[in-house]
Chains A and B, each alone.
Chain A
């Protein structure tokens, strides 16, 4: 299926965009069906990141909503050829989480100012929202790699194996393991990159 123009947009309402790339392209072109598809595909990712980072499901709902609304309205800044849609969505999620945490501390200051109450240090675990977003995103992006690359990288990351050990366990030649690790890492980086085309 190719995404060339308005004719395709019209038909996509009837044909469900299936691949991540189709979803991303349609999203960039303003196809509402692709917004829905993007939500189906990455709504859990966005909501889970917000929910873990904020520890509050009400705020997480608000953030998830704002992420998709903001992404849709700002879709002109998303360039499918320059980065992946989940990477871009997670960039916005990161920003929205930071914003929610900001508001939270502002509210706390306001309460203190109005009631002249002493600040109770009830800081939520705010230290790691970025780490949470990163961890979810890296899992998401790993799943997109070729099987061989994913498996070599998973053994590198999660089992903390050296390339030699991976070669021994898999029976692959060491050179092949190295190639998969290298190319997998590069592909993973590219997938995790957020689109700085959003700046323009």
Chain B
């Protein structure tokens, strides 16, 4: 049986009575049922937007930050001031009598209508596309672009536990062996050394992976029998030369590593 017309699905969504075959079809067809659910969600969202939210203009440093990060020439992209005449979101038509009858063409018949509205897929896609930016993207790009590492793939930014620190990490294969690639910039001065750890989510179980040199970059072998599901967090600590094998409690960066 052919899929229902979007127009007919919209009738259903709006509470109109479509031809009986449509309702029957939707019961059997997951695609059309999903389409109908999307239309109903648009309706719900529309109803929820009755109270207009005020739009706030971003401060100027947002745009200058974008330009700086993207290395944009100022040409053509000179500090745009925001449109003052952009549509007023809260505005309502002044008079309800002036509804004009527009003979618009048939809408929505563009063949490729089987798209989910804000589907999980789209979110996953955005995640994949922007995987590099997971964590704090800005700092990650700054760190990573300059030093290609020996583990292929994209790193993930680690959270700074010291304000100056910028770190990223990824787990991957290098020369057939599982390796953890860690980079940290802005390491604090120390008379000791920096140690790299894998941690579980509670931060209670730790495995020492090795030492991070003062250049802030290390590619460390990770035994194959370490369960990365159990130890998904990487941590870099400042250690004193005091003979204690334990984590000092002074971390520089910490966070989930990217897996490639």
Q: Do A and B bind each other?
A: yes
Q: If the complex has contacts A47-B62, A186-B6, are A77 and B129 also in contact, measured as CB distance less than 8 A?
A: yes
Q: Which A residues fall within an 8 A CB radius of B?
A: 12-13, 31-33, 35-37, 39-41, 43-48, 51-52, 57, 60-62, 64-66, 68-70, 72-74, 77, 82-83, 91-92, 94-96, 99, 103, 106-107, 109-110, 113-114, 131-132, 134-140, 142-143, 146-158, 160, 163, 169-172, 176, 178, 181-183, 185-190, 192-196, 198-199
**Which residues of B are found within 8 Å of A40, using beta-carbon distances?**
80-83
Is B211 close to A, CB under 8 A? no
Q: Which residue of B lies closest to A187 (CB)?
A: B107
> When the two chains form their complex, are residues A131 and B48 in contact, meaning their CB atoms are under 8 A apart?
yes
> When the two chains form their complex, are residues A92 and B117 in contact, meaning their CB atoms are under 8 A apart?
no
> When the two chains form their complex, are residues B53 and A69 in contact, meaning their CB atoms are under 8 A apart?
no
Main SS at interface, chain A: helix
Q: Which residue of B lies closest to A38 (CB)?
A: B80
Q: List 5 A-B contacts (CB under 8 A).
A: A110-B159, A110-B161, A147-B99, A163-B16, A188-B46
- Most chain-A Cβ atoms within 10 A of its Cβ — which of B81, B104, B110? B104
Q: If the complex has contacts A33-B76, A36-B80, A65-B69, are A185 and B14 also in contact, measured as CB distance less than 8 A?
A: yes
Is B126 close to A, CB under 8 A? yes
Q: If the complex has contacts A61-B58, A70-B130, are A147 and B7 also in contact, measured as CB distance less than 8 A?
A: no
Q: If the complex has contacts A69-B66, A110-B159, are A62 and B6 also in contact, measured as CB distance less than 8 A?
A: no
Q: Which B residues fall within an 8 A CB radius of A?
A: 6-7, 10-11, 13-14, 16, 38-39, 42-43, 45-50, 52-59, 61-63, 65-66, 69-70, 72-73, 75-78, 80-83, 86-87, 89-90, 92-93, 96-97, 99-102, 104, 106-108, 110, 112-113, 115-119, 121-130, 133-138, 159, 161, 201-204, 249, 251, 254-255
Q: Which residue of A lies closest to B16 (CB)?
A: A178
> When the two chains form their complex, are residues B52 and A199 in contact, meaning their CB atoms are under 8 A apart?
no
> When the two chains form their complex, are residues B56 and A91 in contact, meaning their CB atoms are under 8 A apart?
no
> When the two chains form their complex, are residues B127 and A154 in contact, meaning their CB atoms are under 8 A apart?
no
A135 CA to B54 CA in the complex, in Å? 11
Q: Which residue of A lies closest to B121 (CB)?
A: A196
**Which residues of B are found within 8 Å of A61, using beta-carbon distances?**
58-59, 61-62, 65
Give the 9 A-B residue pairs with the shortest CB-CB distance, closest first: A199-B125, A113-B203, A47-B58, A143-B87, A186-B108, A157-B46, A33-B76, A36-B77, A135-B49
Choose from B76, B86, B107, B115 the contact partner of A183 (Cβ within 8 Å): B107
Q: Which residue of A lies closest to B75 (CB)?
A: A13
Q: Which residue of B lies closest to A130 (CB)?
A: B118
> When the two chains form their complex, are residues B62 and A43 in contact, meaning their CB atoms are under 8 A apart?
yes
Q: If the complex has contacts A135-B45, A182-B11, are A44 and B58 also in contact, measured as CB distance less than 8 A?
A: yes
Question: How distant is A122 from chain B, measured CB to nearest CB, in Å?
Answer: 18
